[in-house]
Amino acid sequence: MSALASLLIVESNRHMRALLQRFLTRQQVLVHTATNPEEARHLLMQQYYPVVLTDIFLPHGTGRELLRYVRQTTPRTRVVMMTAFGSPELHQRLQEEGAFACIHKPFSLWRLWELLQQAFKAERTAAE
């Protein structure tokens, strides 16, 4: 992956958001953050993000609604969903709706990094 690929994190928990931002910045990813779907939509209108990492359960909306918005507005963007309350059935439904992948909290940051690298690669391949 080239240095400074960009990523949007949508996470309401400030501690989790900060942890993810610090970790991914160390991996040479340019990270922007939002705390809810409305904020995320605003950022997505201003800039293209190849990958969006979003929690499924958010205040003032859901990651699922955000997934639908991204699929309609920027279909090449890969959306990785994360949740502490997901079931295999929910993960399957989200992938059928267009999520690139789902990851269950708590997760290893290195496992997340592997998944995000796959998402960046898939987006680049779609762009070519």
Report whether 34 contacts 8 (CB < 8 A). Answer: yes
Q: Find out whether 57 and 63 touch, Cβ atoms under 8 Å.
A: yes
Instruction: Give the per-residue pLDDT at 77.
Output: 97
The pLDDT of residue 52 is 98
Which of the four pLDDT bands, split at 50, 70 and 90, describes residue 106?
very high
Domains of the chain: 5-127 (3.40.50.2300)
User: pLDDT for 77-93, tens place per residue?
Assistant: 999 999 888 778 888 89
Q: Which of 45, 106, 108, 104 lies closest to 80 in space, CA to CA?
A: 104
Model pLDDT, residue 2 = 47
Query: pTM of the predicted model, to two decimals?
Result: 0.93
Q: Give the pair of three-digit tokens for residue 120.
A: 């960046």
pLDDT per residue as tens digits for the range 20-73: 999 999 999 999 999 999 999 999 999 999 999 999 988 888 899 999 999 999
State residue 101's pLDDT score. 95
- Residue 126 confidence class, pLDDT cut points 50, 70, 90: confident
> What pLDDT, on a 0 to 100 scale, did the predictor assign at position 17?
97
